[in-house]
Amino acid sequence: MEANTMFLTKALLLVCFRVCFTLASDPDPIQDFCIPKPITSPHHHSFSTNLPCKNSSELTTEDFIFSGFKTPGNFSETGLATVPVNPTTFPGLNTLGLSFVRADLKPGAINPPHYHPRATEVAHVVKGRVYSGFVDSNNKVYAKVMEEGEMMVYPKGLVHFQMNVGDVTATILGGLNSQSPGIQKIPSVVFGSGINEELLVKAFGLSLEQIGTLKKRFNPVMSNEH
């Protein structure tokens, strides 16, 4: 009997382990919504789902509306402008497992290869023509030029990218299934994070001088020093 009990316990633990990791994602809300109260304490994370909620008597319809998608964000020198939308900028999203982004690209501009470690993304081309795609874990590229009205999905954790191949500024709206998807841009991760230069030389077959040039370009601290 004791052996059978031990076997059943181990089996249940194994099943739980597999199921828990298979279903891992943003936690499901335990109430209709939670518009967080403003918190000034540095110990609270911006995306925490444990922030105290406003009383429903304090809420209005405006708490569930975001108007920041009407216009593009500020364009960078590379021609990319983004408007990220998450519980920090739109508290109505808190606990709902969603975030969004508006991206505008001037002709020829790119959204460099990047990935979201905690979310799948769906991108909808609102205006323009955009070369869009992602790379799977076998290094196969899935990419095409998307026209207005088309949509593409980027699976969770896979590197993806966009480039405006049209003659007008392109607009893309993205939706992600996490309120804190995270983002890591490949050039900045590799050359702007402080990875040992000797390792980078061996990995990319570049000279120390070339690696130094790339680090100056993608490392914010070094860029400000020069």
- Binding site feature residues for Mn(2+): 114, 116, 121, 160
Annotated binding site: 111, 114, 116, 121, 160
Closest of 81, 84, 153, 85 to residue 119, by C-alpha: 153
Annotated binding site for oxalate: 111, 116, 121
114, containing H or E segment: strand 110-115
Closest of 127, 134, 139, 88 to residue 111, by C-alpha: 134
Residue type, 172: I
Backbone angles phi, psi at 5, to 5 degrees: -65, -45
Q: Are 113 and 185 in contact (CB under 8 A)?
A: yes
Closest of 176, 180, 171 to residue 150, by C-alpha: 171
Nearest 10 degrees: Cα torsion 96, 148, 152, 70: -20
**172: which strand partners?**
103, 125
Structure tokens at 125: 């081309």
CB under 8 Å, gap of 24 or more: what pairs does 76-85 form?
A: 78/109, 78/110, 79/105, 79/106, 79/107, 79/108, 79/109, 79/110, 79/164, 80/104, 80/105, 80/106, 80/109, 80/110, 80/111, 81/105
d(CA 144, CA 135): 12
